[in-house]
Structure 1
Amino acid sequence: MDAYARATMSEGARWGRVRRSRQLRDRAMKAICALFTALGAFVLGWILLMLIVKGFNGLSPAVFTEVTPGPGTEGGGIANAIVGSLILTFLGIIVATPIGVLAGTYLAEFGRTSLLAQVIRFVNDVLLSAPSILIGLFVYAVMVQPLGSYSGWAGGAALAIIAIPVIVRTTEDMLSLVPGSLREAGAALGAPMSMVITKITWRASRAGILTGILLATARISGETAPLLFTALNNNFWFRADLMGGVSNLPVMIYQFALSPYENWRDLAWAGALLITLAILVLSIVARLLFKREPGR
C-alpha cells in the first residue's frame, strides 16, 4: 500500500472519529434540553393542577354574587373584587391604548432613525423591564399622596404606565412589517401622510396592533405590587368617584392567601383561577389574531 492510500485511510479514520464525537455531543445536548424542558413542563403542570383543584373547590355561586367577607365571618364572595379589577384594567388600557398606538406610529412612520425616536425606544425598553413596584411607588408619590387617599384613578394610571410600553413596541413592530410599496401607492394617489397611515398602514396591521393591546391587557390584569400603593383594597363595593380603596382580585388574593381564615384562602384560590382563565383566554385570542396578520 502506497503512502497516499495510507494517508487517505488515516484521514478517513480521523474524520470518522470527529463525526462520532459530534454526534455524541449533539445527542447529549438534545438529552439535556429535553430533560430541562420536561422539568419546566412538570413544574408548570404541577402549579396549574394545584390551581385547578383548589380553585374549583373554592368556586360557588356566592363567589360571583357576594362581596368579600370580613375577618372571622363565614361565606362571602369576590364579586366586588371582580368588578373592581375589571374597572381598573379598563381604566389602564383605555389610557394606554391611544398613547401606545400613536407613539408606536410615530416611531414606525415619522421618527424612525431620528434622535428623538432613539430616546423614546430606549425609555420604552427601560419601562418594559422596570419592576412594577417602582411604578406603583411613582404613582403613589404623584397621585396618592397629593390627593391624600388611595383611588381607582391612581390604580388605573399605574396599570396604564405598565401597558404603554407593550403597546408601543407591538405597534411599531407591526407597522414596520407593512410593505413600503403600500405607502408609496397611497402617496402616488395624492393622499396625505395622515390618510396613508389611517387608511392603509393601520388597516394592514390592525390585527397585530389589537394583539398588542390584548397582550398588554393580559399583562396588567394580574399585577399586584402597583395596586398595593395605589388602589389598595377593601371589602365593599367601589364608590362612584373611585376614591378610597378599590377592591381588586390581585390584592385580594395576596391578602386572603396569607390569612388564617380557611374561607378567605378558598376565595383566594378561586380568584387566582379566575385571573388565570382570563389571561389564558386573552392570550389565545391574541395568538389567533396574530396568525391572521397578513403575511403570516
Structure 2
Amino acid sequence: ISWYERCLWNRMEDFSTLLEGPTGCGKGAAAAAIGRSGFIPFDTAKQTFSSSFTTTFIPLNLSQFAEGLLESELFGHTKGAFTGAVETHEGVLGLCPPHGSIFLDEIGEIGIPAQVKLLKVLEEREFSPVGSHEKLRFCGRVIAATNRPMDTLRTEGTFRDDFYYRLCSDCIQVPPLAQRVMENPDELIELVEHFTSLITGRKNTELAARVLETIDTYLGRHYPWPGNVRELAQCIRRVILKRNYEGQKEKTQTLQDQLKTGIDSATLTADELLNGYCKMLYGRCDTYEEVARLTGLDRRTIKKRLQQHRAGS
C-alpha cells in the first residue's frame, strides 16, 4: 500500500485489467469493485471530492453493437458524421473522468479493426470521435472481460497478440461458482444471504436459511451450477416464489469423466482420486485381485478403497 501511495495512485491509467471466466460467474461485479475502488482526487478549495465513485466507472457491453455503431459508442461522433448522426454524441472514452475506469465487457467478441483502434488508445492515450480529426485525451483506466479462452482466440487469429499484451497488465481468472463453493462452502451461504437481502430489500437470516435448505434438498451440495452466480440469483427467486428449484439436468458423467474433471479443476483429494481410480479399475476387471495387481496395493486395501468410494458418492 505504501508503494501505491508513493508512486502509483495517479498512474493507474497505465495498468489495464483483463478478467477471464465463464458466463455468469461475476466478472461484471468484480470489474465494478475494481473500478470503483480507485483514487478520487479531493478538491481542497471546494472541500469535496472532484467526482462521485458512481460516475467514475462506466460499463459497456461490446457484443450488443454492430462494428460501425461500436466505434460511435466508444469514441463518440460529430453531427452529420454518418446517416442518422443528427447530433453530436460523446462516447465512453470521452465521458470517462480522470482516474475513472471504463469496463469493456465481451472484449473477445469485437473485430480486428476495433481492436486496432483501441490498441492505439491504450498506447497513445488519444482518440478522435467518428467524423472528426480532433485529438482528445483519454485519462481513464481500461478494465476488460471475456468468457472466451484468450489463448484460443489468439491461436485462431481473431484476437491480436499486441492488443492482448496491452490489456493484460493485470489478469484475473474468475472461477466458476461450483469451484468456488467446492473450495469454500461458506461462499454459497454468503451469496444466498446477499441475494436474499437484495431481493427482499432487507436482511432476512431466516429466509436465507430456508432457501439454503431448499437448495440442499433439490440440488444437493455438489450441484455444478452451470449458470454460475447468475443461475444462483434466479434459483433464489424461484425458491422464494415456489419453494422449489429443479436446476439444469446434466448428462451423466462416467466415472472416468468425473476423475478427469476433478483432476483438471484440482478439486480432488488424494484419497478421492485413489478411491475413484480403484473403482474404475474394478468396473473393468471385476475382481479385487486384478485391481490389486494393477495398482500394487493389497486386496484388503482395494476393498477398503471401494467401500470408501461408495460411502462418498
| TM-score interval (norm. to shorter) | under 0.3
Q: TM-score, normalised by structure 2?
A: 0.20
From the two aligned structures, give the one with the greater strand fraction. 2
Q: TM-score, normalised by structure 1?
A: 0.21
